Amino acid sequence: MHLSQVVLPVLYFCAAVVDSSSWNGSYPRKTCTIASKYRSSNGTLNDSPAVASAFAECSQDAIIVFSEGLDYNILTPISATNLSNVEIHLQGNLHLPRKITAVQAAVNASNALTYSTALYWFKFAGASIDFIGTSNLTNGWIYSYGQAWWDANPVNGTGIAARPHLMSFNTTHGSIQHFKSKKPIAWGVQLIGNAITVSDTVVDAFSTTGSFPFNTDAFDVTGTNIKILDSLIFNGDDAIAVQSGAHDILFQGGTIGYQSHGMSIGSLGQNQGSFANVSNIKFNNVTVINAVYAARFKSWIGGQGLAKNVTWSNIRTHNVTFPIFVTQTYYNQGSNQTQLENGATIGRPNNSTVQMSDFTWENFTGSINTFRPGDGSCVTDPCWYDAGLPNLTHTEAMIMECNTNSSCQNFATKNIHVFSQLEKAATVICLNATAELNPDLGFDCRNGTYIPFLS
């Protein structure tokens, strides 16, 4: 009999058990342990139907187990959006299709071809969801086989069509522990909801062929009361992007790098008609290696809204191109699709600005990438990250581009000790962060050598 003809009659096993480790309620939790057809089919059959059945059977007060050491083919997307009080234990490894066309077919089938609707390969929603991986480094991975996608991107392309996001996680009072993602196709985890703690993440979007891993954001955050702790993220876009609607966010501990775009607020204000809003955001105690940015704020030209009370503190940079970067006049050079309003590709008026208030950068140490600045994401000339900055020397500790003389208020910098690789004094580019509105800026807002005020 051909291996692919092996049919296992039992797809998953359910049992009522009491989980002694983390459940202290008075009634037993149901457990669904998912069987895998991976080994018996030599990696050919799809385990998604069994996974979907388990999520249907164990959608409430339950534990779902991907068994230790087993592999599971997740060849079609998983959507479990009616969960309540469910723990997902990933002790085996999950595999997306290796073939680009197989993933694209699923994305196209969900009508998610446009930028406005995204397909999430895993979609979890409901109250109290805990996604629990393992510290065992051989298990708990989601393998997305992104390398083929990055390699297939044409010269000066910004990523091929019909790319899915990896996961949408929408819960209240939940957690993600030991999430491990290997070569994601593009965007990672979208965090939605309230009161979520994410810890001990590993995202490895390191390209081994030299192609660029476009849009491999690790976390995109639109929820509230979210902590992301002790992450290890090597990627080619934001390690964290705090987006409109996010409030009370802490990103703390760990190391980010490779061609990362760092710890970002934004982009905000892309839709000129809606008011962007983020507040109470802190990035603390993070090491940043070889990245394009460490601390970045990005809002669109002509956007509107307010970003308030944001701090980056205790940041160590190694060979980072732009340690501190603020722009309120962002636009997308590389793609016609994302800069528009009503289908127009030009004529986006500079008629408003996303206001920034109460921003602090404190305790930065390390080096600026002077010798090999930037990354492999340049597809235009000038490169998107050099646009509007003709006088870069790559000795800049800080670049602060405020759109108007009132759009940046209460900026404060303190103990900024980052040095260029020329071993000369660092410089700054600063526009419109006026002394009147920014009494604790810590230096004169002008272009040139960075001379911090003595405090």
Ligand X SMILES: *[C@@H]1O[C@H](CO)[C@@H](O)[C@H](O)[C@H]1NC(C)=O
Report the interface residues with ligand X, using CB under 6 A: 3, 42-43, 68-69, 125-126, 136, 138-139, 155-156, 170, 192-193, 230, 253-254, 259, 272-273, 280, 282, 285, 290, 302, 304, 309, 313-314, 319, 334-336, 341, 349, 351-352, 362-363, 369, 372, 375, 379-381, 390-391, 404-405, 415, 431-432, 447
Q: Report the C-alpha gap between 6 and 36 in whole angstroms.
A: 12
Q: Report the C-alpha gap between 191 and 181 in whole angstroms.
A: 15
Q: Report the C-alpha gap between 203 and 422 in whole angstroms.
A: 32
Q: Which of 200, 204, 237, 238 is catalytic?
A: 237
Residue whose C-beta lies closest to ligand X? 69
Q: Which is nearer to ligand X, 99 or 424 (CB)?
A: 99
Q: Which is nearer to ligand X, 101 or 336 (CB)?
A: 336
Torsion-angle region of residue 292: left (phi > 0), alpha (psi -120 to 50) or beta?
alpha
Minimum distance of ligand X from residue 11's CB (angstroms): 21
Q: Report the C-alpha gap between 278 and 369 in whole angstroms.
A: 30
Minimum distance of ligand X from residue 351's CB (angstroms): 4
Nearest residue to 329 via CA among 348, 314, 312: 348
Q: CB neighbours of 378 closer than 8 A, spacing ≥ 6?
A: 384, 385
Q: Which is nearer to ligand X, 28 or 157 (CB)?
A: 157
173 catalytic? Reply is: no
Q: How many residues can be counted in the chain?
A: 455
Q: Which of 89, 165, 178, 261 is catalytic?
A: 261
Minimum distance of ligand X from residue 284's CB (angstroms): 7
Minimum distance of ligand X from residue 16's CB (angstroms): 26
Minimum distance of ligand X from residue 231's CB (angstroms): 9
Q: Is 401 helix (H, G, I), strand (E, B) or coil?
A: strand
261 catalytic? Reply is: yes
Q: Which is nearer to ligand X, 26 or 165 (CB)?
A: 165
Q: Report the C-alpha gap between 1 and 208 in whole angstroms.
A: 38
Q: Report the C-alpha gap between 200 and 261 in whole angstroms.
A: 20
Nearest residue to 118 via CA among 79, 171, 158: 79
Q: Which is nearer to ligand X, 28 or 333 (CB)?
A: 333
Which active-site residues does the annotation give?
237, 261
